């Protein structure tokens, strides 16, 4: 029997966490073209945009969590993935664009949290104390990717005592069929799975 998520979606105690939806990940210069294609083909950015509009309208909080790097990758996490995609501005002469993709530009009142190390939004960027200052109880992680970052962020949220709700149409993995498996076999045991439309409907209904 489906669970009514309304009690968990009081807007003032909710935060949408937009994870790594940035130009060097999803834009034309991406080093992960399969992931960018999964986001594009799944309409993920449009779904996130609609969810963010509903969040701001309802009074829920919006956080953008991005990954930045120092020249030469100084202090970054040492993983096979990052070793493959690491771009050193000193080698190319062109700075890596870590800005949020234009389709979901941050708006006044949104909070930007950047980190230069770690693989989840909760690592070493100050996200957790910001959420606690705002008395957040429910986090809504969206973005990329279900392979590592979004899954890790959801797990870390639960570890810290937050409830997690994941709109499946606002997330993607590479390849897409693997993302579906993560949602089915991992995410559903950590977070309540729903859609952006269902969350928006709850917020709009509560406002009226």
In a domain, 4, yes or no: no
- Asked if residue 186 is part of any domain, the answer here is yes
5 in a domain, yes or no?
Answer: no
Q: Is residue 151 part of a domain?
A: yes
Output the pTM of the full model.
0.91
In this predicted structure, what is the pLDDT of residue 90?
Answer: 45
Q: Which one has a higher pLDDT value, 23 or 75?
A: 23
Long-range contacts at 155-160 (CB < 8 A, ≥ 24 apart) = 155/120, 155/190, 156/120, 156/121, 156/122, 156/123, 157/17, 157/122, 158/190, 158/191, 160/122, 160/128
State which residues form the domain around 67. 11-90+98-207
Share the mean pLDDT of the chain: 91
Assess if residue 146 is contained within a domain: yes
- Domain of residue 182, CATH code: 3.40.50.850
**Residue 3 resides in a domain:** no
Lowest mean pLDDT among 23-32, 84-93, 107-116, 199-208: 84-93
Whether the per-residue pLDDT at 29 is higher than 70: the answer is: yes
Domain for residue 15, yes or no? yes
Is residue 56 a part of any domain in this protein?
yes
Number of domains in the chain: 1
Angle, helices 33-41/44-58, rounded to nearest 10 degrees? 60
């Amino acid at each position: 029997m489906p669970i009514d998520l309304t009690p968990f979606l009081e807007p003032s105690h909710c935060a949408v966490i937009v994870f790594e939806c940035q130009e060097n990940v999803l834009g034309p210069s991406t080093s992960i073209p399969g992931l960018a294609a999964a986001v594009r083909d799944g309409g993920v950015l449009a779904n996130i945009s609609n969810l963010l509009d509903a969040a701001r309208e309802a009074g829920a909080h919006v956080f953008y969590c991005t990954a930045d790097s120092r020249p030469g990758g100084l202090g970054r996490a040492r993983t096979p993935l990052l070793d493959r995609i690491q771009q050193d501005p000193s080698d190319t002469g062109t700075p890596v664009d870590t800005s949020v993709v234009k389709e979901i530009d941050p708006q006044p009142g949104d909070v930007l949290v950047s980190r230069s190390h770690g693989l989840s939004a909760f690592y070493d960027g100050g996200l957790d104390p910001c959420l606690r200052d705002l008395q957040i109880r429910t986090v809504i992680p969206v973005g990329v990717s279900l392979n590592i970052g979004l899954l890790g962020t959801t797990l870390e949220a639960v570890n810290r005592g937050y409830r997690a709700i994941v709109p499946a149409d606002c997330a993607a993995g590479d390849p897409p069929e693997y993302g579906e498996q993560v949602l089915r076999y991992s995410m559903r045991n950590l977070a309540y799975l729903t859609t952006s439309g269902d969350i928006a409907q709850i917020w709009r209904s509560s406002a009226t």
